[in-house]
């Protein structure tokens, strides 16, 4: 039986003080969480500090990206082994901001997916359509293509134990969340798409929704049968709002 996972993506926000205070706030608000995984992905600079601050809590450390290379002359990059070394477990890949600003392709993201699995880390594979693609009726086509980059090269079994975050690009950071019915329809499509290859794998894969989730809309989104928690951006920077989303899951 799959369990929900709520993960906070702090993006390019924070400082040593923010890490200290936000994690203290989260520990206070989430001292006993049952039946829902909780993770946070601070900027890579603060992972080690965050890991220490999370010590003894149920909140798990995540990261926002990984390089496709394992080591060597790749200035400015961070490897899967480094993330593992500092205690990160859930690693976001394919976020729309990386696809857009860093021109990351489906193929590159699929390589990152494979190397994270090989390193024993858990990919959180972000997929989702832009507003123009949505308006052109291409949501399913785009999501299928982004999943197929992994599915058709690594097989359905590659999705065992991983997380997929459906994040419509038009809903990220805009305050305009998908409706629960819209999100559920796409989540069902994603699960069915994987089920065509392997039913058991599709049934266990955690399918998060992401895009302007907040303490007001979370419960209705999480009530949908194929929505297993959320990837949360803006609202993850406030301990009380993030904790309310966790509690809704
Ligand atoms: C995100 O960036 O993954 C995200 C979902 O952001 P927000 O919650 O701010 O829309």
- What is residue 43's predicted lDDT score, i.e. its pLDDT? 98
Q: So what's the pLDDT on residue 32?
A: 83
Selection from 242, 246, 216 nearest residue 42 by Cα: 242
In this prediction, residue 109 has a pLDDT band, given cuts at 50, 70 and 90, of: very high
Among 9, 11, 229, which is best to mutate for testing ligand 1, by the most ligand atoms less than 8 A from CB? 9
Q: Which residue owns the Cα nearest ligand 1 atom 6?
A: 233
| Residue-level pLDDT at 33 | 83
What are 154-173's pLDDT values in tens digits? 999 999 999 999 999 999 99
Mutation pick for ligand 1 pocket among 8, 167, 217 (CB with most ligand atoms within 8 Å): 167
DSSP string for 82-150: HHHHTT--EEEES-HHHHHHS---HHHHHHHHHHHHHTT-EEEEEE---HHHHHTT-HHHHHHHHHHHH
Residue 235 CB partners (closer than 8 Å, separation 6+): 213, 214, 215, 241, 242, 245
Closest atom of ligand 1 relative to the 126 alpha carbon: 3
How many H helices and E strands in the chain?
Answer: 11, 8
Domains and CATH numbers, the chain: 5-248 (3.20.20.70)
And the tokens for 85? 């070394």
pLDDT per residue over 41-57, tens digit each? 999 999 999 999 999 99
Nearest atom of ligand 1 to the alpha carbon of 11: 2
CA-nearest residue, atom 7 of ligand 1: 233
Ligand 1 centre to CA of 248 (Å) is 17
Is the per-residue pLDDT at 1 higher than 90?
no
pLDDT digits (tens, 9 = 90+) for 6-55: 999 999 999 999 999 999 999 999 988 888 999 999 999 999 999 999 99
Residue in 214, 249, 240, 241 with CA at minimum distance from that of residue 38: 249
In angstroms, the CA 106 to CA 227 distance is 23
Phi, psi of 138 (to 5 degrees): -105, 15
Q: Is the pLDDT of residue 244 over 90?
A: yes
Rounded CA-CA distance 249/55 in Å is: 23
Cα(233) to ligand 1 centroid in Å equals 3
CA of 231 to the centre of ligand 1 (A): 7
Q: What's the chain's average pLDDT? A: 97
d(CA 246, CA 238) in angstroms, rounded, equals: 12
Whether ligand 1 lies within 6 angstroms of the CB of 128 is answered as: no
Q: Which of 41, 164, 208, 212 to mutate to test the pocket of ligand 1 (most atoms within 8 A of CB)?
A: 212
Percent of the chain exceeding pLDDT 90 equals 98
211-233 average pLDDT score: 97
Angle, helix 47-54 to helix 16-29, in steps of 10 degrees: 30
pTM, two decimal places: 0.97
Taking the CA of residue 175 as reference, the ligand 1 atom at the shortest distance is 10
Q: Is 96 in the pocket of ligand 1 (CB under 6 A)?
A: no
- Residues with a catalytic annotation lie at 95, 167
């Amino acid at each position: 039986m799959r369990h929900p996972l709520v993960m906070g993506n702090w993006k390019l926000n924070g400082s040593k003080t923010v890490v200290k205070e936000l994690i203290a706030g989260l520990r206070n608000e989430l001292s006993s969480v049952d039946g829902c995984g909780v993770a946070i992905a601070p900027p890579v600079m603060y992972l080690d500090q965050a890991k220490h601050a999370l010590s003894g809590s149920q909140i798990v450390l995540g990261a926002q990206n990984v390089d496709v290379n394992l080591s060597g002359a790749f200035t400015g990059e961070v490897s899967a082994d480094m993330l593992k070394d500092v205690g990160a477990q859930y690693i976001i890949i394919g976020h729309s901001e990386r696809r857009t600003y860093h021109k990351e392709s489906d193929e590159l993201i699929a390589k990152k997916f494979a190397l994270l699995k090989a390193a024993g880390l858990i990919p959180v594979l972000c997929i989702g359509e832009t507003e123009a693609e949505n308006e052109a009726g291409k949501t399913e086509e785009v999501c299928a293509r982004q999943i197929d980059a992994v599915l058709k090269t690594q097989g359905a079994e590659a999705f065992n134990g991983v997380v997929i975050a459906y994040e419509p690009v038009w809903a990220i950071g805009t305050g305009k969340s998908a409706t629960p019915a819209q999100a559920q329809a796409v989540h069902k499509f994603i699960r069915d798409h994987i089920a065509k290859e392997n039913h058991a794998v599709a049934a266990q894969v955690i399918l998060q929704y992401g895009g302007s989730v907040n303490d007001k809309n979370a419960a209705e989104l999480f009530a949908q049968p194929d929505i297993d928690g959320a990837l949360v951006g803006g609202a993850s920077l406030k301990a009380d709002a993030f904790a309310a989303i966790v509690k809704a899951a």
